[in-house]
Amino acid sequence: MMFRSSPRPSQVLFLSTSLLLAWWLVGPAALAQQGAGIAADAQADEPDLPAEETPDPAAARPRAAEAQPPGRTATAPARPDIGTKPYLVLQVDEDQRRERFNVMAMLRNRKFEPGEEERFEAYYRRYFLPRWTQPANRASLPLLRRELRNNLLSGRTGPPHKRLQAVILDYLGKMASANVHPAARVNAMLMIGELNAEEPLRAGDTPTPLPAALPVLLQALGDDEQIDPVKVAALVGIIRYTQFGQLTPEATSAVQQAMIRLAQSPGAPARSPEGHAWMRAQAAKALGLLGSVGRNAEVPRLLTNLVADRQLDMLVRCRAATALGQLNYTGADGLSAAQPIAALGRLAADAIRADTDHFDEDPNGFSRRRVKARLVAVLQGLAGDEDEPSQGIAPLVGAADEKATYDSLREQIEKLSALFDDRQSGDAEIVQALRASLAGLEPARSPATAQTGQ
């Protein structure tokens, strides 16, 4: 049984967990620089709520410079005046609180009586959604988002449900770019990524993401003026579409091109290297989930380069390897398996070297799980996943010498992965066996691939 490194399509994405992970990965310095009061100054870009807006005084306080970790050079923020503008706190009409019972009845009845549309919309625009900007509610934003999801689930379908979706797309789409606290902006974008065309009947049912939300997510990800935490939230939503969305060819192409640009991107001025590596890895994951080789087989060519590049974080390389194994190579004429085979062999060798060298420095820090996960990523690139309708790069294998190289590498990786199932072997024995395998992995490297990286 192969080790599973990616969620199955029937699994639910835990967006709050992804958010916490992403905020940690972009780094506290980057968040302080990018996330503190970046304004969308044009009024047309802010939520169309009551005219009175109260600045959040906490945002105007001067921020102490953050110490850089040893060995890291401080990176200049994208906007030098970040943190000098107070966040907007939108006015909440508390009188609308009493409409909650009526609004929920409209959702459950799945229809509007004459004149109810305006009352329904006023509840959300004047009371429920403005509360997301209140300083007192920042810690409760995930709960407010869950409450809004429950509202949608209560309606499931019908005019009130569609009206609420339209309000969310309009209002929260603007909030995600407005000069409100970054926590509100991030939760606004996460909520947009969670929208469904029709709510599932049961918790375990596969959702159908709302097609109208995808352009909003893509626009946020590609916006040079958008802050990184919101981009990460948009990326989480886009991954959900690649897993569950019934994408049109046009939507597939739009997502694919956005992910190619991100996977190729060298970074951003105020983004941590770790954060950018995570984002590039997610882009590679999305390309694999889409399954398309793209125009002129641009996707497998890009993924092969990522796998072979020794300058990249191992997370990016392993995600790209798994993605290579998920593509549908039917009709990919003129694409050879030689380069992917060589790149995957190089990744396996590099992963083994990195972990066995680390064992020499710190035996207690050796992780069997980490080494196996990296080798399984190579194996998934070669042969796909037995639980998925993928065959890896096997359909590309043609010539006899190419097949011999492919078969040899696959056999070696399968044997190495099986080492970790032996609970009786100590770490030192595992390391010795891994080192002994390196000579057999090296021939998988072609001269062209050997020139990539160092």
pLDDT in tens, 172-207: 999 999 999 999 999 999 999 999 998 988 888 899
Say if residue 29's pLDDT is above 60.
no
Domain boundary (275, 305, 321) is at 275
User: Is 283 contained in some domain?
Assistant: no
Instruction: Round the average pLDDT of the chain to a whole number and report it.
Output: 83
* pLDDT at 334 (0 to 100): 80
Model confidence at 390, pLDDT cuts 50, 70, 90, reads confident
Amino acid 54: pLDDT: 57
> With 80 as the cut, is the pLDDT of residue 444 above it?
no
- Does the residue 70 lie in any domain? no
- Predicted pLDDT of residue 202: 84
- Give Cα 129 distance to the centre of its chain: 25
Task: Summarize the confidence of residues 360-379 as an average pLDDT.
Answer: 93
pLDDT band at 53 (very low <50, low <70, confident <90, very high): low
Q: Within this chain, do residues 90 and 238 fall inside the same structural domain, yes or no? A: yes
Predicted confidence band at 69 (pLDDT cuts at 50, 70, 90)? very low
User: Is 344 domain-assigned?
Assistant: yes
Contact in structure between 352 and 345 (CB atoms under 8 Å): no
**All residues at 6 or more sequence positions from 49 whose CB lies less than 8 Å from its CB, including other chains:** 90, 91, 125, 126, 130
Is 282 inside a domain boundary?
no
Contacts of 376 (CB under 8 A, 6+ apart): 2, 3, 5, 417
Q: Residues 269-283: what's their mean pLDDT?
A: 93
Residue 155 lies in a domain: yes
Residue 55 banded pLDDT, cuts 50, 70, 90 = low
Choose the final residue of a domain: 217, 246, 275. Answer: 275
Which of 18-27, 108-117, 203-212 shows the lowest mean pLDDT across its residues?
Answer: 18-27
Tell me the residue range of the domain where 452 lies: 291-454
307 and 160 within one domain: no
Q: Is the predicted pLDDT of residue 7 greater than 60, yes or no?
A: no
Identify the domain boundary among 229, 249, 275.
275
Please report whether residue 328 resides in a domain. Answer: yes
| pLDDT recorded at residue 261 | 97
Residue 13 has pLDDT above 50, yes or no: no
Are 40 and 183 within one domain? yes
pLDDT score, position 56: 61
pLDDT at 219 over 70: yes
Q: Under a CB-based contact definition with an 8 Å cutoff, are residues 197 and 251 in contact?
A: no
Question: Is 284 a domain residue?
Answer: no
**Stronger pLDDT, 136 or 30, i.e. the higher one:** 136
Domain identity same for 243 and 325: no
Asked if residue 302 and residue 252 are part of one domain, the reply reads no
180 and 322 in a single domain? The answer is: no
Furthest-apart CA pair in the chain: how many Å? Answer: 78
- Domain identity same for 256 and 114: yes
Percentage with pLDDT > 70 across the chain: 78
Ranges 12-16, 160-164, 233-237, 267-271: which has the least confidence: 12-16
Please name the amino acid found at residue 402: E
Rg (the chain; Cα; Å)? 25
pLDDT at 42 over 60: no
Q: How many Å apart are CA 237 and CA 241, to the nearest integer?
A: 7
Say how many domains are in the chain: 2
Q: Is the pLDDT of residue 227 over 50?
A: yes
pLDDT digit string, tens, across residues 345-368: 999 999 999 999 988 889 888 999
- Residue identified by tokens 């004149």 is 115
Decide which of 74 and 420 is more confident. Answer: 420
Answer whether residue 159 is part of any domain. yes
Does residue 79 carry a pLDDT above 90?
no
Residue 63: predicted pLDDT:
37
Query: E-strand spans in 29-173?
Result: 53-56, 87-90
Contact 220, 207 (CB under 8 A): no
Residues 270 and 309 in one domain: no
84 and 136 both lie in a single domain: yes
Instruction: Check pLDDT > 80 for residue 447.
Output: no
| Structural contact between residues 218 and 255, judged by C-beta atoms closer than 8 angstroms | yes
Clarify whether residues 296 and 376 are in a common domain. Answer: yes
How many Cα atoms within 13 Å fall on the side-chain side of residue 395?
Answer: 19
- Whether 147 shows a pLDDT value over 80: the answer reads yes
Q: How far, in Å, CA of 303 to CA of 319, rounded?
A: 9
SS3 209: strand
Give the model's pLDDT for residue 383.
95
Buried b (16+ CB within 10 A) or exposed e, 411-440: ebbeebbebbeeeeeeeeebbebbeebeeb
**pLDDT-based confidence at residue 90 (cuts at 50, 70, 90):** very high
pTM of the model: 0.82
User: Which of 22-26, 111-115, 425-429 tops mean pLDDT?
Assistant: 111-115
Neighbour-count burial for 246-279, b at 16+ CB within 10 Å, e otherwise: ebeeebbeebbebbbebbeeeebebbbeebbbbb
- Residues 338 and 214 occupy one common structural domain: no
Give the model's confidence band at 330: pLDDT under 50 very low, under 70 low, under 90 confident, else very high. confident
Based on the domain organization, do 33 and 115 belong to the same domain? Answer: yes
Which of helix, strand or coil describes residue 279?
A: helix
